[in-house]
Amino acid sequence: MNMKTIFTLLVAGTLASAAYAAASFEALVLHPGFEVQEPRIQPVFQVLNANGFIKEYYTDVDSVICGDGQCEIITVRLLWDVHGGFIRYEFPKGGNLTKMGHEQFTQADHAKLIKILNDEHSTLADVSAADIVSPADAMMNEESDTDGTSSATLLSDKSAFVAGAVYTCYTLWHWVHGDMQTEIQNITAETIGTEQLLTMLKNSNSSEVAFAVEALSKRNITDPAVQKQIKTLALDGTTELASASIEYFQSQGPETYYQTMAELFPQGDSKKQVLYLSSLASTDLAAPEGFYDLLSAQLPNLGSYYEVHLMLNLMTEHNFDSELVVSNTIPLLNSESFLIGRRAYNFLKEHELPEAQMAEVKAFHTKYADRL
């Protein structure tokens, strides 16, 4: 997309946004630029597409929050996607953003601002409103090339603002990434149709898919086809998707949850196995008989100390006296990792063991006596 196209969309995009306007909501928002730090009601509009699916959200805000009446203010329409991700901005009443000295934004300035607003980890997140002076006050300082900041951190990060428009960048960034984003996520969770959630499972955006999985969890959707699809997401997707999938299967009750954990755990990488073990440690669902014996069979296959540690913590809590758990732990004494061997030793030494197994424990003690 070239610069001319970007600028045309910014000015004219509002026509497309209004095509399927559906409903307005009241969002409770606290912006760090508010003169009085109290939440305010901010109208936000939900837009549907031709299929009745939520397409996007928008709200109209001032380009700067200015209490002295001397700032040049323009109405900016900010737009988010279905799960609160920033899409673009527009000018519903026409006009253009300006920099210090009433200089209008160029196409390059707009392109940079879009990049800034898409950066959820921007330096602007850590800058206090008190560090930003208004454009009107900055005009008094002829040596300044921005609209004012005393923050050395911000000044050193030129990518975080458009020169001459720090105040505008700060104002709009905090609208995009503040309370409004959370409010939009809450509105979507309450109003989105199940059909759209199922469609979102096929999206390439992992955050959007995770949002859909979490929403389906809250709705207790138990369709076997959906369960199969979410299981595939856990197996093949990111750790974010695996985490959301765990919550979904927990919502399905103990039988489905533990059956799924038994299937997913052997196929997960190290990070996912840590997620699964952490979930098992925190769940209130009662495990079926034999589950922890089955899980312990994976002990010799675990690749890191932390996974072994979490697994043995689980066994201590839920299945300490199992002979099968002991049998599956014994091979860890011969691990190439001393830390893993020592963790297994500390677990095993608390048991009354048959002579042959006790001999292996004693052999480990003799070998590493000075390190235990």
Is there a contact between 45 and 59 (Cβ–Cβ < 8 Å)? yes
Separation of alpha carbons 343 and 361, rounded Å: 12
Q: Is the pLDDT of residue 137 over 50?
A: no
Instruction: Clarify whether residues 214 and 357 are in a common domain.
Output: yes
Q: CA quadruple 154, 156, 162, 164: dihedral positive or negative?
A: positive
Q: What is the pLDDT of residue 65?
A: 65
Q: What is the pLDDT of residue 102?
A: 80
147 or 113: which leads in pLDDT:
113
pLDDT band at residue 132, thresholds of 50, 70 and 90?
low
Distance from chain centroid for Cα 118: 14
What is the overall mean pLDDT for the chain? 86
Instruction: Clarify whether residues 155 and 207 are in a common domain.
Output: no
Separation of alpha carbons 99 and 162, rounded Å: 8
Separation of alpha carbons 116 and 101, rounded Å: 22
Q: What is the pLDDT of residue 50?
A: 87
146 or 73: which leads in pLDDT:
73
Range picked from 14-23, 50-59, 148-157, 160-169 for highest mean pLDDT: 50-59
Instruction: Clarify whether residues 66 and 204 are in a common domain.
Output: no
Q: What is the pLDDT of residue 253?
A: 94
Q: Is the pLDDT of residue 8 over 70?
A: no
Extract the runs of DSSP E, i.e. beta strands, from 109-153.
Answer: none
- Residue 27 has which token pair? 């969002």
Separation of alpha carbons 33 and 66, rounded Å: 9
Instruction: Clarify whether residues 291 and 365 are in a common domain.
Output: yes
Domain count, the chain: 2
Instruction: Clarify whether residues 161 and 254 are in a common domain.
Output: no
Q: Which amino acid is at 242?
A: A
Separation of alpha carbons 265 and 256, rounded Å: 14
- Residue 288 has which token pair? 């079926």
Distance from chain centroid for Cα 71: 36
Is 186 a member of any domain?
no
Q: Is the pLDDT of residue 243 over 90?
A: yes
Is 79 a member of any domain?
yes
Instruction: Clarify whether residues 201 and 170 are in a common domain.
Output: no
66 or 312: which leads in pLDDT:
312
pLDDT band at residue 35, thresholds of 50, 70 and 90?
confident
Is 120 a member of any domain?
yes
Which of the residue ranges 31-45, 137-151, 264-278 would you say has the lowest mean pLDDT? 137-151
Query: pTM of the prediction?
Result: 0.71
Query: What is the tens place of the pLDDT at every residue in 213-239?
Result: 988 998 888 889 999 999 999 999 999
pLDDT band at residue 262, thresholds of 50, 70 and 90?
very high
Number of neighbours of residue 16 by Cβ within 10 angstroms: 13
Query: What is the tens place of the pLDDT at every residue in 65-109?
Result: 654 445 578 899 999 999 899 999 999 999 999 887 788 999 999
* Average pLDDT estimate for 134-145: 45
Is 47 a member of any domain?
yes
- Residue 45 has which token pair? 């509009």
Is 189 a member of any domain?
no
Containing structural domain, residue 113: 3-181
